[in-house]
Amino acid sequence: MARSTDGAALRQALLQLLEADPPQEERLLADLERRQEEGQPLYSAALYLLTHLQFPEAEARRHWRRILAHRDLLRMTLGRDVGLRVALLDYFVNVSKELRNPKVIEISIYERTARSAVTDGLTGLFNHAYFVQALRREVQRSRRHGLTVSLALFDIDDFKKVNDTLGHLEGDKVLMKAASLIHDSLREIDVAARYGGEEFAVILPETGREGAFVVADRIRARIGEHFRRRKDGPRVTVSGGVAAFPGDAGGVEDLIRRSDEGLYRSKADGKNQVTLVDGERRRNPRVPASHHVLLRGRTVRQAAARTKNVSEGGLLLNLKQSVPVGSPVSLVIRPRGGGAPLGLKGEVVRVAPAGEGAGYDLGIRLAADPNQAAVVFRRLTGAGA
């Protein structure tokens, strides 16, 4: 059994032994004994898989030894080896009486049921909730052992056009195929998830930023090539952003934000590309800032919005309605500290739901020369004041 890096990996390793045909119980026992000093909750994990009973590790170890002794007693009484599972069931029902009404079920069936709670029903990838848990676990492990974990975020370019022109059924097919191509491009230890809508996330444990960029760009190229070869379907491309912990971010939320910055830049620079965030990007960071904004465009006559953060190249706004990516917009910003309003022009390069009842977040690339952009940035953040 390979050394596990966390509870999920240990669980999978134990499942492989338990589901082997024939069951590799003796190997399981030997591996447990050999690895009990490594600090992993081996006995409690094994008993939970077999009985769904939860014990502290020390108590689980005591139960395990009593189960082995009970198995030997049954062997001598019956003149045959009843096996680990029968001995375990008889022990918990008739000896310790931890189980009163046990239900027999195949482990594989139970695992499929449990997995359905953490997977996306359409794509089969992990869902957003599991992604957050997995990323938090990998960041903690990387911090503890001095490792690097990278995160890649992907967004299908112009996906709304696919739904609008070909229908949601075709859009679902695009999502499923893109998810399949992402999954097939990864290692067993990597985690692929549907981040939301047409967005996907990939966690790459023990992978540096440059290596993660290679993986992400390979995924981008494979998706583009697959849909380019299709004669009867839409031409689909994806954009991506990559960042790594600890080099680019100090924690989970920061890592997601930094990867999203790379994705934002890929969209702003023409789409169908992957951007690796770098040091230069951090020297011009996005700064949280809240200012009232009036936004106008082809698809919106006038809408009230509020800035969430600003940089020298763009703004992140929150407003109630969505505005199509690529839309040119005019902005009138009223700085929070007073002073004359700022009139600016820009382009919508990213749209994402901000959460239930919270409207939409719009990434706006400003159409301004560098000197004007620097002045706007100082006005809105107070930098250099």
Phi, psi of 268 (to 5 degrees): -65, -30
Residues 335, 380: contact at Cβ < 8 Å? yes
Q: Which amino acid is at 261?
A: E
Q: Which amino acid is at 255?
A: L
Q: At 88, is the secondary structure helix, strand, or coil?
A: helix
Torsional class of 357: left (φ above 0), alpha (ψ -120 to 50), beta (otherwise): left
Per DSSP bridges, beta strands 360-366 and 342-353 are: antiparallel
- Distances in Å between the Cα of 253 and the Cα atoms of 47, 110, 116, 151, 260 are 35, 33, 26, 11, 11
- Distances in Å between the Cα of 52 and the Cα atoms of 7, 97, 333, 354 are 15, 14, 58, 38
- Distances in Å between the Cα of 144 and the Cα atoms of 205, 258, 309 are 13, 21, 31
- Record the tokens describing residue 318, joined without a space: 């929150």
Given the residues 26, 37, 198, 199, select the one marked as catalytic.
198
DSSP sequence for 103-171: ----HHHHHHHHHHTTB-TTT-SB-HHHHHHHHHHHHHHHHHHT--EEEEEEEETTHHHHHHHH-HHHH
The yes-or-no answer on residue 19 being catalytic is no
Nearest to 194 by CA among 258, 121, 117: 121
**Omega cis (within 30) before 246:** yes
Residues 234, 170: contact at Cβ < 8 Å? yes
Give me the count of residues in the chain. 385
Contacts of 197 (CB under 8 A, 6+ apart): 159, 352, 353
Q: Catalytic amino acids?
A: 198
